[in-house]
Amino acid sequence: MEDKKERCRNAYSDYDRNSMERFFKGATRLADVIPVSERERIQFTQDTLEFVRREDTAYTLIYDLEKMQIHFTTSIYPDMKTVRIGALDFSSDAAPLALNLQKPAVSYINYNVDMNRRVAESFFRDPVLTKTFGWRITDDMIDFFASFPDKFLNILDF
């Protein structure tokens, strides 16, 4: 494993190298015995994410595909919250919703392109991310990202 880490140091930028080192740390931890009970597995996963966390980590996500749940924390509200996918209304006449990660509990807001544009703009205009990734994102690109979900046809309309 040390040889892989050394190749990682030589081949990547600081950001990429940090990501790869975090990946190696997490993979090493996952090589340990994973708990059997659901509660212990979720705690183990949360502890692993905390173990590989960067100081600028905004949120963590744990996908439980068997239970169709998403567990998440945010840097502002670190208590774990759970979204139960089966409790959501995916029917074609349901109002589109967005999960608001900036609340202390699971909270939904009505989705619309303007809200999505504000989210895309805050992400792609973030000075740290722009500098780190060398982005040159135009307003037209942000408009494209913001309106992209509305371009999908409703499969029930066929």
In this prediction, residues 43-69 reach a mean pLDDT of 91
pTM for the whole structure: 0.74
Q: For residue 71, what pLDDT is reported?
A: 95
Using pLDDT thresholds of 50, 70 and 90, give the confidence band for residue 4: low
As a dihedral over the C-alpha atoms of residue 113, residue 119, residue 125, residue 127, rounded to 10 degrees, the angle is 180
Amino acid identity, position 51: F
Q: For residue 40, what pLDDT is reported?
A: 92
In this prediction, residues 107-115 reach a mean pLDDT of 93
Does residue 75 have a pLDDT over 60?
yes
What backbone phi and psi angles, to 5 degrees, belong to 16?
Answer: -60, -45
CA 101 to CA 106: how far, in whole Å? 8
Q: For residue 5, what pLDDT is reported?
A: 55
